[in-house]
Structure 1
Amino acid sequence: MTSNVICIVLGGGQGSRLFPLTATRSKPAVPIAGKYRLVDIPISNCLHSGIDRIFVLTQFNSASLNKHIKNTYHFSSFSRAFVDILAAEQTPTSVAWFQGTADAVRQSLHHLAVHEFDYVLIASGDQLYQMDFQEMINNHEHMGADISIATIPVDAADVPGFGILKTDSDNWITQFVEKPKTDFEYLASEVSPEMKEQGRTYLASMGIYVFNRKVLFDLLQGNERTDFGKEIIPQSIDDHKVLSYQYEGYWTDIGTIPSFFDANLQLTDDIPKFNLFDKNHIYTRSRMLPPSKISGPKLTNTIIADGCIINASQITRSVIGIRTRIGFDTIIENCYIMGGDNYQTLEQMEESRLNNTPIMGIGDRCCIKNAIVDKNCYIGNDVKINCGEPLANGDYDRYTVMDGIVVLKKRAIIPDGTVI
């Protein structure tokens, strides 16, 4: 039963590979799918699995994450449920910031120790998936494991990017190799016929673990090992019962701008791999926003969140976030527009027009393709972004280019007629 489980969501480090989206916010606080935050994914999976005692560990740019957690996850006064932030802190025994995943949990053990639980579920704050953790925990209990690791079958081309586990016929893990580059054929494991047919015969760690309480405390206390994947797990295989829990559903690691971009745009597919319309919906902050008002555009495979005012001519394969304003005769193609945190008043908009400066949102007669527009951007009229020759990678004052994707930075001001 999940009442004996407590969860730790790892907020990750500085999130440099998601820059500039992480310039002013932590990785778990990055907006996804137009209305959610990344941290909502593991928390929602927990709540749907009956796990309602959750710690979120973070240390970088945690203000927006704190605000989101505070405004979102409220429970009855008669319930012991909680979602709490644990930020890196100086204590008499530790004056350093988190040095890795295991070190982050080690420095937080004194917060866990006051609670009653048998198992600790450790999840990542930067992945997109829908998983019933109850099944993983039941399997862990049934097999009498000390540690369980969620694994997903991958093909040979993906092996160098993951920690790869070798299992026996009963799914006990016998070997763990971190990101092998060559000669890894011996690491192939037993998988389902469907996975074997797809050539996915290697088991990659998903970074989701279940530990028995005593095992976790014993492994972390009295040593300086800092990382689960590189140290704790490989060094535990010989003297602990370490079990693989195979998962074959949709799962993606959102660690880079291209993977983040693709994950969002795939939500617009006719039958997306990640189902936003599943009964196990994603929990997020409740906002009392008006319905979106749309006038004129041709919409193709587009998701539009609440509170938008859209007068574009064409929007194709795009995700339009909350409170987005798009002007007349504008074309949006393959974009994630994150939207705004607030509306401008009519007086503020009139003042901007008198000063010949853009108003919040996207102006008239713009063309924006293959782009991520962060929150609260001011894009003027007749602006063209990524509508010409491919752009070289680089970081600029108001935007970053990564693998052909232009990322407008939060609160960027793009004057009328600008071409990027």
Structure 2
Amino acid sequence: MRRGGPSVLGIVLAGGEGKRLMPLTSDRAKPAVVFGGTYRLVDFVLSNLVNGDILRICVLTQYKSHSLDRHITTTWRMSSLLGNYVTPVPAQQRLGPRWYLGSADAILQSLNLVHDEQPDHIAVFGADHVYRMDPRQMLRQHIDSGAGVTVAGIRVPRAESPSFGVITPGADGRTVEGFLEKPADPPGLPDDPDRIFASMGNYIFTTKALVEALYEDARNEDSAHDMGGSILPMLTERGEAQLYDFGDNHVPGETARDQGYWRDVGTLDAYYDAHMDLIAERPAFNLYNRDWPIYTHSAQLSPARFGAGGFAGESIISAGCLIRGQVTRSVLSPGVVVEEGAVVQGSVLHDHVRVGRGAVVRGAILDKYVDVPPGATIGVNPQRDRELYSVSKNGVVALGKGQRVS
């Protein structure tokens, strides 16, 4: 935070394997997956923290972290003159020859970062969600309430509860009376029985409360050593947990349409649907809000170019793309080439994908360096696609980095 305000250390949990996003995570950590053409998923949480004046941030990494580490070190360079930084922190095995046992254990093994900074508060945020949020508003409520931890919650349909940690608020609407990890049939909210408060994976702790809870959790051999499954229930039982309603958060430049937008893109279908949100006539999530920008690395590439027969509609076309064919309702990352006669519909193409002459790509996600041969089809024959490629529950065809197209 700015000089004179409370000191806050940001800790971003970015060690997740992301199995449900395979094959996009076969070569990289989930927070390093490309999103929206030019961004990485980790850019969204880092942009929110930095825009909110939390300028000392440690990103805890573990699983296939090279791509993520490189992106952070080359993109997120803060002012060392002012003591600000964003730094990746790999698993250091400070407590013995073992990897992280869970998200709580990851912070426990990295407490040297806390001891070095001596912050008043610690913002522990997840690394793989798409949203805008001003963390200062959550911090203000946290300080005013005197809570040991404040957890951000968002209202979602009760039917989606098996995918989230579910927060049960007390009569005052703030005190957390219960915290259930992915329950099958939780009670609905008093004012909206068909909805529940889902945890967004964003927490602000007083340093004292977090450190004490981590040490106590470490002594429990039966614990899963997880922030949502272990630490939050512990502090809830003590009456130290408060809910922050994400619906009350506002960022500069937001519209009525994208206020409160938050997506967990942990599955291929969710990842695909979030991209379709970007290219709607009235986007559900606006990448072009200059008052609360999402930062990322921009490669030195020439502008996108369209050949004589090239066309793109309802699409995002990044720099370095060459479009000679037809592109509709798609998101293209830098360096994508769509040759003459090729058709790309409702698809997400990552860096340097090439779609050959006369090929058809429909309802697909193609990772970096996929080369679609001339005349080939993806997303046209569902039975054939399921034999050759990964296909989601909703029929989205996904090819991994450099995967050969048959």
The alpha-carbon deviation at position 387 of structure 1 amounts to: 1.1
Q: Partner residue of 2:76?
A: 73
> SS in structure 1 opposite 2:363?
strand
CA apart distance, 1:388: 2.6
SS at match of 1:17: helix
CA contact (8 A) 2:103 2:227 kept: yes
Matched residue pairs, number? 382
Give the letter for the 1:15 counterpart. G
- Which range moves more in the overlay, 156-165 or 145-154? 156-165
Q: After the TM superposition, which parts of structure 1 deviate over 6 Å for at least 4 consecutive aligned residues?
A: none
Who is 2:294 aligned against?
A: 282
Is contact 1:308-1:323 (8 Å) kept? yes
Which of 199, 204, 207 pairs up with 1:210? 204
Partner secondary structure for residue 10 of structure 1: strand
1:4-62 per-residue CA deviation (whole Å, 9 max, x = no partner) reads 11111111422111111111111111111010101101000001101111111111111
Cα distance in 2 between the residues matched to 1:139 and 1:189: 22
1:392 Cα deviation after fit: 6.8
What do the CA deviations read for 1:322-349 (whole angstroms, capped 9, x no partner)? 1111100111111000122xxxxxxxxx
Q: Is the contact made by 2:152 and 2:202 (CA closer than 8 Å) also made in structure 1?
A: yes
Higher Rg of the two aligned structures? 1
8 Å contact from structure 1 (residues 376, 411) kept in 2: yes
Q: Does 1:61 align with 2:64?
A: yes
Distance in 2 between residues matched to 1:174 and 1:413, nearest whole Å? 52
1:407 to 370, 388, 398: 398
1:159, distance to aligned residue in structure 2 (A):
2.3
Matching of residue 5 in structure 1 with residue 8 in structure 2: yes
Deviation for aligned residue 1:412:
2.3
Specify the alignment match of 2:234 in structure 1: 235
Match of 1:362 in 2: 355
What amino acid sits opposite 1:246 in the alignment?
D
Q: CA deviation at 1:75?
A: 2.1
Q: State how far apart, in whole Å, the 1-side matches of 2:310 and 2:38 are.
A: 21
Corresponding position of 1:264: 275
Q: Structure 2: how far apart are the matches of 1:304 and 1:311? A: 13
CA shift digits 1:247-273 (9 cap, x unpaired):
120111111111111111221111222
State the secondary structure of the residue aligned to 1:244.
Answer: strand
Return 232-241 or 367-376, whichever deviates more. 232-241
Q: For 1:300-311, what aligned pairs fall within 5 Å after superposition?
A: 300-311=313-324
1:44 is aligned to 2:57:
no
Shift of the 212–299 alpha-carbon distance from structure 1 to 2, 3 Å rule, reads: same
| Alignment-derived partner of residue 292 in structure 1 | 304
Give, in whole Å, the separation in 2 of the partners of 1:79 and 1:287.
Answer: 27
Q: Give the structure 1 partner of residue 255 of structure 2.
A: none
Q: Of 135, 140, 152, which aligns to 1:138? A: 140
**Structure 1 pair 171–77 and aligned structure 2 pair: CA distance change class (3 A):** closer
TM-score (ref. length: structure 2): 0.90
CA distance in structure 1 between the partners assigned to 2:373 and 2:327 by the alignment: 18
Cα distance between partner residues in 2 of 1:368 and 1:124? 33
| Equivalent position of 2:257 in the other structure | none
Counterparts in 2 of 1:12-411, with a 5 A limit? 12-91=15-94, 93-168=95-170, 169-182=172-185, 184-185=186-187, 187-190=188-191, 196=192, 201-224=195-218, 225=223, 226-248=225-247, 249-278=260-289, 279-295=291-307, 296-312=309-325, 314-340=326-352, 361-389=354-382, 393=386, 396=388, 399-403=389-393, 404-411=395-402
8 Å contact from structure 1 (residues 189, 202) kept in 2: no
User: Runs of 5+ in structure 2 lacking a partner?
Assistant: 248-259
One-letter identity of the residue aligned with 1:282: I
Unaligned runs of 5+ in 1: 191-195, 341-359
Give the % identical residues.
34
The alignment's TM-score, normalised by the length of structure 1, stands at 0.87
Partner residue of 1:344?
none
User: Structure 1 residue 393: deviation in Å?
Assistant: 4.9
Distance 2:313 2:237 in 1: 54
Query: Residues 371, 40 of structure 1: CA spacing in aligned structure 2 closer, same or farther, 3 A cutoff?
Result: same
What amino acid is aligned across from residue 6 of structure 1 in structure 2?
L
* Equivalent position SS for 2:67: helix
Alignment correspondent of 2:253:
none
Name the stretch that deviates more: 327-336 or 294-303. 294-303
What are the Cα deviations for residues 210-232 of structure 1, in whole angstroms up to 9, with x where unaligned? Answer: 00001111000154241111111
Deviation track 1:281-325 (CA, whole Å, cap 9, x = no partner) reads: 11111322111001223322101111111101x211100111111
